[in-house]
């Protein structure tokens, strides 16, 4: 149902911004004396995988990669309970960590994840998100690196899905009528 989609960001716009973010992160993790800090990039699955792959292959410094899968689930009428479905395998104590997220919406899941990682004593934690929906924020959570600020609306493509559909689109689109998706 591609006629139910409105393109918000083209593949070219996305790739240009990803390269800009990668250049900034590369610069931020290179010290003045040219010694190299090797941050651990953590991909939040599944939505961030396309962004994560493009971002990390454009980083011009040694890095480590890891993955985590979190879920916000509903129990009756209560929503927002968090669970870790798949944890990272890297010891992050004393390490610089960059969480790579597809979208920050309410911020609740990301806040849960950051608090969980802080208990493991990393040197630092930064957040890099592809999309930021600030007007939907329910908790105090800000990204250090933001691809694009977007308004409310249900978006798909470039890793983001609707019922496991549309992830493969190389662009970002808004679903005009979710009942027809």
For the chain, what is the domain count?
1
Average pLDDT, the chain: 90
Q: What is the pLDDT of residues 55-96, one digit of tens each?
A: 999 999 999 999 999 887 544 434 557 788 899 999 999 999
Q: What does the pLDDT read at residue 146?
A: 98
Does 31 map to a domain? yes
Model pTM? 0.91
Give, to the nearest 10 degrees, the angle between helix 11-28 and helix 49-57. Answer: 60
167: which DSSP letter?
T
150 φ, ψ (degrees, to nearest 5): -130, 155
Q: Which positions are annotated as active-site residues?
A: 105
> Tens digits of per-residue pLDDT, 168-179?
999 999 999 887
The verdict on residue 81 lying in a domain is: no
Residue 117 lies in a domain: yes
Give me the CATH number covering residue 171. 3.40.50.2020
Of 46, 39, 70, 65, give the one whose Cα is nearest residue 130: 46
What is the share, in percent, of the chain residues with pLDDT greater than 70?
Answer: 92
pLDDT band for position 136 (50/70/90)? confident
pLDDT tens per residue, range 4-28 = 999 999 999 999 999 999 999 999 9
Identify whether 78 is part of a domain: no
Question: Cα separation of 140 and 171, whole Å?
Answer: 29
Q: What is the pLDDT of residue 77?
A: 37
- The end-to-end CA distance of the chain, in Å, is 7
Relative to beta strand 78-86, strand 64-75 is antiparallel
Is residue 79 in some structural domain? no
pLDDT for 103 beyond 70: yes
Domain extent at residue 99 = 2-70+88-176
Over residues 38-48, the mean pLDDT reads 95
- pLDDT of the residue at 82: 79
Per-residue model confidence (pLDDT) at position 36:
56
């Amino acid at each position: 149902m591609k006629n139910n989609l409105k393109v918000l960001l083209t593949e070219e716009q996305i790739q240009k911004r990803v390269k800009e973010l990668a250049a900034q992160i590369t610069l931020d993790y290179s010290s003045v004396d040219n010694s190299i800090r090797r941050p651990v990039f953590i991909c939040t699955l599944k939505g961030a995988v396309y962004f994560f792959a493009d971002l990390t292959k454009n980083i011009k410094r040694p890095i480590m990669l890891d993955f985590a899968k979190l879920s916000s689930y509903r129990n009756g009428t209560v929503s927002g309970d968090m669970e870790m479905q798949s944890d990272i395998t890297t010891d992050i104590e004393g390490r610089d960590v960059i969480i790579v997220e597809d979208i920050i919406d309410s911020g609740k899941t990301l806040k849960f994840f950051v608090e969980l990682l802080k208990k493991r004593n990393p040197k630092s934690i930064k957040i890099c998100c592809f999309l930021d929906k600030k007007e939907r924020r329910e908790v105090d959570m800000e990204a250090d690196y933001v691809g694009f600020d977007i308004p409310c609306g249900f978006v798909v493509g470039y890793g983001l899905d609707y019922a496991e559909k549309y992830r493969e689109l190389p662009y970002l689109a808004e679903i005009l009528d979710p009942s027809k998706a």
